[in-house]
Chain A
Amino acid sequence: MPKRQYSFYPGCSSQKGASASNYLTSVEAMCDELDVELNEIPDWNCCSASIGYCGGGELPRLALSARNIALSEEHNRGQDIVATCAACWLATRETKERLEEDDDLMRETNQALAEAGLVLENTTRIRHMVEVLIEDIGYEEMGRHVKKPLEGMKIAGYVGCQTNRPFGIEGESFENPMYLDKLTETLGAESVKDYDRKVSCCGGALAFSEPEKSQALIKEIIEAAYDGGADMIVTPCPVCQMNVEIYQDEINAKYGTRFDMPVAYYSTLMAVAYGKTPKQAGLDGHVIRAKKLEKIAGKG
């Protein structure tokens, strides 16, 4: 069967040496197994990630995502754009929709793009990797590739904000989307039922600028996972992953908790279940080691 082709927008946090570089590693391993080919958008730029608004007005921010879509339409013609980062997906899809609805903004955006020698047609679908997995591949097919079921693991599916709102995944509710649960079960693990911080906010970019307020939110996300008996948390978002994983020491120091909860991407779980090496699964990128997963990955 020929590989499924997508135009890929990796985003800044996935770059080599950046905070979600291990996400990209595991996505590559997962896609290799599922015969998915990701064709990187040549010379893509930052989407401004819901935070550039101090200096960046509406039109300059729209132009950023428009440039990526235009590059994709020029170089990866006819392919859907796929993003792995929730903020990248959201910014790009919002741009597409805003420009569809507003002819004046569309005209002005193309005026700006012309300065870079680009033209936006705006006919490209913008999708999150999770949509590709669920809609184009399906749970059954994903399950067929499992070589090392994640038996004995209990996992809390933390969906967070931006993969869930405002667009979300088709057929799922905003309050209790089930896809991460279904996915972990497909891989042979148990999911935490009624994980009550499943869709609550980790503070997003404000984890940097309002650390104390954000860490109070993060604490509840981790606590609820422990309450549900979880061995680890899984998430589809690089901001969620980073915020929930790396501040645990600071939270412990401040609140006297003893958190030591690994936080992985869905793609990490999939890569391990598909029999990839710990390195291919990006397990060496964890600040809090996912020991149970390492053990499964290390089995011959």
Chain B
Amino acid sequence: MSENNNEMIERYRGNFLREVEDNVEEGEWVKMCMQCGVCSGSCPLGPHWDFGPQTLFMMIRAGKRDEVLAAEGPWMCTSCYNCIVRCPRELPITHIMHGLAHYAVRMGLAPKNQPTRKFSDLFWKNLKADGRVNELRLGISLYFMHGFVDGIKTALKKAPLGLGMVRTKRMNPMEFFGGHKVRDRKGFHRMLEKAEEIESARIEKGPRPGAE
């Protein structure tokens, strides 16, 4: 991962805006931001962010690569789309946030113990394994994501909630052992591998010709 990172630093030589435009989902929109602040002001978890979208976009233009990629902000997005429908420049802000989070992981710079990063990682692994999400297994991995002792404590605290869900048949303990799966897992896995391969190649080799 950090090899990747060094290569990118080398390739873009301080032009972080360009790096974002080439490699981050919907990154080509960042330069359109006019710094009005509506997005950060509309953000439900806004008060808890280190940097809201407006600030992140300014920092990208100012070349603050390390600060942006290590920021908590991109991981605080609930995907509420408040910002998107209000942005006067119609930036796809939600997707840029997700894109920045993903790129920060790719570069090995994302904050390590960020809870949403962990959840997002577990969710992806869970869905990738079987093609569908197994909520019980996801929930249990989540309890243990901070370590074993913490996990037991969280699980005990959440026990009444879990029981309520079991009683109403909305959480099936049997799912832990089997659960729901895509039938064509082979094809499903090959498809995802191919998509990952194409995307990584695009980032490693630089932007597509004509994608200026």
Task: A149 to B98: give the CA distance in the assembly, Å.
Answer: 44
Q: Is the CB of B79 within 8 A of A162?
A: yes
Per the 8 Å Cβ criterion, residues 1-28 of A in contact with B are: 12-13, 15-22
Q: Tell me how many residues of B have a C-beta within 8 Å of chain A.
A: 67
Q: Identify B119's interface contact among A12, A117, A174, A208, CB under 8 A.
A: A208
**In the complex, what's the smallest C-beta–C-beta distance from A231 to chain B, in angstroms?**
20
Question: Does A56 make an interface contact (CB < 8 A)?
Answer: yes
Q: Is the CB of B128 within 8 A of A17?
A: no
**In the complex, what's the smallest C-beta–C-beta distance from B165 to chain A, in angstroms?**
7
Chain A residue at smallest Cβ distance from B126: A46
Q: Is the CB of B187 within 8 A of A117?
A: yes
- Which one of B2-10, B30-38, B62-70, B175-183 is at the interface? B175-183
Q: Tell me how many residues of A have a C-beta within 8 Å of chain B.
A: 68
Chain B residue at smallest Cβ distance from A87: B79
**In the complex, what's the smallest C-beta–C-beta distance from B88 to chain A, in angstroms?**
14
Question: Does B54 make an interface contact (CB < 8 A)?
Answer: no
Q: Is the CB of A18 within 8 A of B135?
A: yes
- Cβ contacts under 8 Å, A136 to chain B: none
- Cβ contacts under 8 Å, B84 to chain A: 165-166
Question: Does B12 make an interface contact (CB < 8 A)?
Answer: no
Q: Is the CB of B119 within 8 A of A209?
A: yes
Per the 8 Å Cβ criterion, residues 29-50 of A in contact with B are: 43-46, 48-50
- Cβ contacts under 8 Å, B102 to chain A: 53-54, 56-58
Q: Is the CB of B188 within 8 A of A108?
A: no
User: Contacts A20-B170, A161-B80, A166-B84 given: A43-B184 contact, CB under 8 Å?
Assistant: yes
Question: Does B22 make an interface contact (CB < 8 A)?
Answer: no
Task: A198 to B58: give the CA distance in the assembly, Å.
Answer: 32
Task: A284 to B168: give the CA distance in the assembly, Å.
Answer: 6
- Cβ contacts under 8 Å, A213 to chain B: 45, 48
Q: Is the CB of A104 within 8 A of B211?
A: yes
**In the complex, what's the smallest C-beta–C-beta distance from A73 to chain B, in angstroms?**
16
Q: Identify A112's interface contact among B169, B195, B211, CB under 8 A.
A: B195
User: Contacts A54-B120, A174-B85, A246-B164 given: A63-B192 contact, CB under 8 Å?
Assistant: yes
User: Contacts A162-B81, A165-B84 given: A17-B199 contact, CB under 8 Å?
Assistant: no
Q: Identify B198's interface contact among A46, A108, A246, A286, CB under 8 A.
A: A108
Q: Mark B164-207, 1 if CB is under 8 A from A, else 0.
A: 11011111101100011011100110111111101100000000
**In the complex, what's the smallest C-beta–C-beta distance from B58 to chain A, in angstroms?**
22
Q: Identify A209's interface contact among B115, B160, B161, CB under 8 A.
A: B115
- Cβ contacts under 8 Å, B161 to chain A: 246-247, 249-250
Chain A residue at smallest Cβ distance from B44: A201
- Cβ contacts under 8 Å, A104 to chain B: 208, 211
Question: Does B153 make an interface contact (CB < 8 A)?
Answer: no
- Cβ contacts under 8 Å, B190 to chain A: 115-116
Question: Does B127 make an interface contact (CB < 8 A)?
Answer: yes
Q: Is the CB of A115 within 8 A of B121?
A: no
**In the complex, what's the smallest C-beta–C-beta distance from B78 to chain A, in angstroms?**
4
Q: Identify A58's interface contact among B99, B105, B171, B211, CB under 8 A.
A: B99
Give 20 CB contacts A-B under 8 Å.
Answer: A12-B135, A16-B172, A22-B170, A43-B182, A45-B132, A46-B127, A51-B123, A54-B117, A55-B125, A56-B102, A57-B199, A59-B195, A63-B191, A109-B195, A116-B187, A205-B123, A247-B161, A249-B161, A286-B168, A287-B168
Q: A57-B25, A200-B44, A209-B119 are in contact. List 7 more A-B contacts (CB 8 A).
A: A44-B182, A53-B102, A60-B195, A108-B199, A210-B48, A217-B44, A247-B161
